[in-house]
């Protein structure tokens, strides 16, 4: 993935045509991945860039206040000094504002496409419990079956709490522990019992099946959406 730097608006050459080229090349790549149903990290990265551009537009006065100023007038009677911002009406600020004004709607359109892809894929992913769901659901197993693939991926999951920028969040860690080819006589309940016998650290694990009728990309799409589905599911039961 061609990386768009966090400070791409102000870094390097401040020229509208150049920044337009950089942005459009980045968005073309992001859209290409969305067309291939690859959502991450492309969607989250674009959300972050859009948020930064929006903040830049709203807080450009803070940016201007950081530029140097020159003394323009001294009022000896009032003992006041007047300063003139060197960037006032400058070509630099005009270019930056033009870049941001162009970038925001372009990013928003691409985000709309990403949102459509996300909702479409999520509608084809189903999660359901296997057997009785215990009271403790922060650790357990996920069985994942995609499309017409006869393989079943089995993951151990763990929900953990973490703090970022002073705020609390919950995340899901997935570890692939086994991939099996499920035969006609291999029931999901039987597989769960086998897991309990093999991995005795979880004697009564919450276990879920995640299925998709389409073989979406695992790393870029299925795993990130599944993590959200797990959080939503354990919160409901």
Which pLDDT belongs to residue 196? 93
Q: Are 100 and 86 a contacting pair, CB within 8 Å? A: no
Q: For the purposes of burial, counting CB atoms within 10 Å of the CB of 107, is it exposed (0-12), middle (13-18) or buried (19 or more)?
A: buried
Residue 172 neighbours by CB under 8 Å, 6+ apart: 157, 158, 159, 160, 227, 230, 231
pTM of the model as a whole: 0.79
Which pLDDT belongs to residue 165? 59
CB atoms under 10 Å from CB of 104, counted, come to: 15
Residue 76: pLDDT band with limits 50, 70, 90? very low
Tens of pLDDT, residue by residue over 124-183, are 999 999 999 999 999 999 999 998 878 999 999 999 887 565 666 789 999 999 999 988
Does the pLDDT of residue 70 top 80, yes or no? no
| Chain position carrying tokens 């206040």 | 65
Tens of pLDDT, residue by residue over 88-134, are 457 788 888 899 999 999 999 999 999 999 999 999 999 999 999 99
Does the pLDDT of residue 204 top 80, yes or no? yes
């Amino acid at each position: 993935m061609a990386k768009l730097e966090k400070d791409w608006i102000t870094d390097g050459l401040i020229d509208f045509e150049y920044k337009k080229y950089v942005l459009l090349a980045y968005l073309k790549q992001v859209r290409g991945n969305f067309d291939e149903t690859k959502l991450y990290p492309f969607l989250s990265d674009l959300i972050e860039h859009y948020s930064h551009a929006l903040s830049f537009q709203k807080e450009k006065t803070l940016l201007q206040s950081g530029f140097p100023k020159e003394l323009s007038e001294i009022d000896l009677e009032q003992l006041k000094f007047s300063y003139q911002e060197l960037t006032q009406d400058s070509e630099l600020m005009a270019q930056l504002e033009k870049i941001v004004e162009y970038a925001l709607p372009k990013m928003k359109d691409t985000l709309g496409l990403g949102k459509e892809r996300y909702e479409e894929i999520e509608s084809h992913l189903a999660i359901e419990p296997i057997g009785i769901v215990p009271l403790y659901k922060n650790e357990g197993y996920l069985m994942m079956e995609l499309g017409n693939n006869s393989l079943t991926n089995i993951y151990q999951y763990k929900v953990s709490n973490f703090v970022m920028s002073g705020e609390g969040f919950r995340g899901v860690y997935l570890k692939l522990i086994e991939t099996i080819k499920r035969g006609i006589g291999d029931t999901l309940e039987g597989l769960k019992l086998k897991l309990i016998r093999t991995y005795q650290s979880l004697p009564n694990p919450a276990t879920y099946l995640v299925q998709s009728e389409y073989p979406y990309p695992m790393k870029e799409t299925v795993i990130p959406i599944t993590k959200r589905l797990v959080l939503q599911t354990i919160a409901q039961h």
